[in-house]
Chains A and B, each alone.
Chain A
Amino acid sequence: MFDPDYELDPTYSNSLKETKVILLIFAVWAAYTLTVAYQFGYPPPRPTGEATVPEVATVLGMPAWIFWAIVVPWLAANFITAWFCFAYFSDDDLNEAEEAQQDQHSTEEAKING
């Protein structure tokens, strides 16, 4: 322990925990999206001369690779964001009370100074 009279600020430790979860979510989404996009969105290199591009398969009218690599993870990202914000994210003290006191003090000072 740094100092026996002090303990780790819970807002700091909660933020650190949340940051690790965010980075994990980012890594999972990046890995999925980029892998699927690379696998299905980038056709093999064209032979020189005539262009050969695969027929485009569609889902809901858009290219299938766009649907699976982008639309699906985008929708899933909204769900995981909702989970993070409403179920995981902690309601921590941000020093609002101390600041409100300071504000009151400075407002009074401003009144005195005209």
Chain B
Amino acid sequence: MGDGTPAEAAGSNSAIVSFVAYIGIVMFLAWLSSRVAKKGSFLSEYFLGGRNLGVWAFALTFAATSASGGSFIGFPSLVYSHGWSVALWICSYMLVPLVAMGLLAKRLNQVARIADAITIPDLVQARFKSPVLGLISTVLIVFFMAFNLIAQFKGGSVILQTLLSDVPLFKASAASLGSLTADLPLVGQNVDPGYLLCLLVFALAVVVYTTYGGFRAVVWTDVLQGFVMVLGILLLLPLSLIAAGGLSKVTADLHSNPPAKPAQISISFADESITGLDLPSNQLVVAEVNGQEKVFRLLDPVSINCVGGVVPIPYRMTIEALELSQSPEEVAHEQVLRHGFVVTEYESELEYGYGDFPGSLTFAPGPSESKSSGFLPFAAAISFFFFWCFASAGQPSNMVRCMAFKDSKTLGRAIFTVSIYYSLIYFPIVIIFCCARSILPGWEHASDRIMPEMTATVTSIFGVPWLAGLLVAAPFAAVMSTMDSFLLMISSSVVRDIYQRWINPTPSERRIKLLTYSTTFIVGMVAMVAAIQPPQFLQDIIVFTGSGLATSFLAPVALALYWPRFNYQGAIAGMLTGFFSNIALYGIGTWQTGSMSAYQPMGFHPFLVGSVLSLIVAWSVCNLTKEPDKEVVLKFFFRRRVQR
């Protein structure tokens, strides 16, 4: 997997040290959080931290939960592959804190306190006095969150495996685990032991500290993880800019060099002084094509032994490679080997859908391998501008956080804090990974690895390999802070919304504690076992579940908070419309293309279509049915007049 370059080795060593140190600190924080004086009921404390979060805790738990592994692996990969147009794709994060927190948070917090609600189904049930609606929302949350949790477990394990792939201790441990599990029915020969080892370590760490410490531990570790993420980005930004020669040079490079193209080349060399060749995968080589020197990145390792005429000279071989548009002189930070290679046959394997020309990386819609309309057609840009703001507002995991802050002042300050936080994270990531195209050209085939590669290379250029440890901790932090929150969401749904609501409404404190701990642990273990045979289409599953939750919950919850006339019939209709429209659009898209994808009417994202439909149906059904009870409206929208 790795190419064994010094930069990568330095990065991997620091990765294992930072991972172990990081897990140690997280466990310590979980222990510390459990020693904080508790007030109120156990469930309120365990699932909401006693509704007492201050500015930093609330702001960073909100921000860190939103920033998943995608922010540090998938997003850099997108920037690397599609260039500056990704800035437009992500730019509505400028308003996410204001919209996602400001729109619902104050009313959510107030209504949750009036209803003594700990979970979203709790709140919905109290607002509409409808156990059926509470059950529907529980089922929807568990359905989507379970999918998402499994995908996040896989994502975390893949990141860890990528970062540790060249560490000898990791390789030996993975081999031992492989021989131990070879005969197990679930695992057998089909599962990569390296992946399995990472899954076990990563999942156990998250499940243990989440189970032990509950919401407060999750928030405390989120705060740590939030700081690690922003510090990592702020350190990487100036180093990347200096290494790349400044932003003007980066933009000029992107403008003149289109994306590298996969190709199959037959090369020959006739240099009799060479006794053997041992080229790792990802090595850059120069080969002459029609008298002109071109740079290729090898996609597979090449090993040839010429001693004693084992292979004859001149030698000819066929290699899978990426053809870079840069000249050998333009590649400044990697070694480019010359062995007098001459390309004898050339076959480009891929016709770009759009963007195989200079300038495609500096203008929208950006290059795309598969789509003739490019990476971000204008309708998609509109969709994503709405998506980031309103889908964040509609995530139950964010709504729960909005039920946990201390007071209105805290909310106001936290919105501003998150606004600055996102500004320091998302646009700098765009700049850093545009720089990556200048520093490390030709990684289109493995752009998911660009974050660790960039980290290792940049810290190696500046002779500060210790810094790589902190920088590679950022993706761990991002994944863990999302996983722990989702885990807690599912266990709270099971304990509060199913057991306490439907099975035993008045359990003893001791029983509820036991049930809560065991449910959190069991849910985590089940998700881990499910992730052993990981689902395909990881990023698609994450987008599908995020979109599904938002289309199901955004309109009904917003109307429930702001429209006194809104009744349970409207809420059920809106929720189910959002849910089924998302399922239907994904179903059609998957059926049409044969892989998991969404059908997008006129280019608009299913989230936008589903949310608008949900809003229209909820409003229409509500107006066609009777008004809600006066008592409910008075409770949530009015207060007793103060007698003077």
Contacts and interface: CB of A to CB of B under 8 A. Distances in A.
Given A51-B358, A53-B360, A94-B407, A61 B246 contact: yes
B637 A19 contact: no
Contacts of A3: 630, 634, 638
B477 interface: no
Interface string B617-644: 0000000000000100110111111000
A96 B407 contact: yes
Contacts of A98: 113
Main secondary structure of the interface of B (DSSP, over half): helix
A29 B99 CA distance: 12
Contact of A7 (B419, B510, B638): B638
Main secondary structure of the interface of A (DSSP, over half): helix
B508 A113 contact: yes
Interface stretch (B23-31, B37-45, B312-320, B321-329): B37-45
A53 B356 CA distance: 12
A82 B413 CA distance: 9
Given A8-B637, A26-B95, A60 B41 contact: no
A110 B88 contact: no
Nearest to A113: B509
A100 to B, nearest CB: 9
B99 A26 contact: yes
Contacts of B106: 11, 14-15, 18, 92, 94
Interface string B79-109: 0000011011001101101110011001101
Given A37-B381, A106-B40, A89 B412 contact: yes
Interface string A34-45: 100110011100
B640 A5 contact: yes
Interface in A52-83: 53-54, 56, 58, 60-63, 65-66, 69-71, 73-74, 77-78, 80-82
Interface stretch (B1-9, B248-256, B266-274): B248-256
29 contacts: A4-B641, A9-B636, A9-B638, A12-B562, A19-B102, A25-B98, A26-B389, A33-B385, A34-B378, A34-B382, A37-B364, A38-B381, A42-B364, A54-B359, A56-B363, A69-B88, A70-B88, A77-B95, A85-B415, A85-B416, A86-B412, A91-B408, A91-B412, A94-B110, A103-B41, A106-B41, A110-B42, A113-B508, A114-B509
Interface of A: 2-12, 14-16, 18-19, 22-23, 25-26, 29-30, 33-34, 37-38, 41-43, 46, 51, 53-54, 56, 58, 60-63, 65-66, 69-71, 73-74, 77-78, 80-82, 84-86, 89-96, 98-99, 102-104, 106-107, 110, 113-114
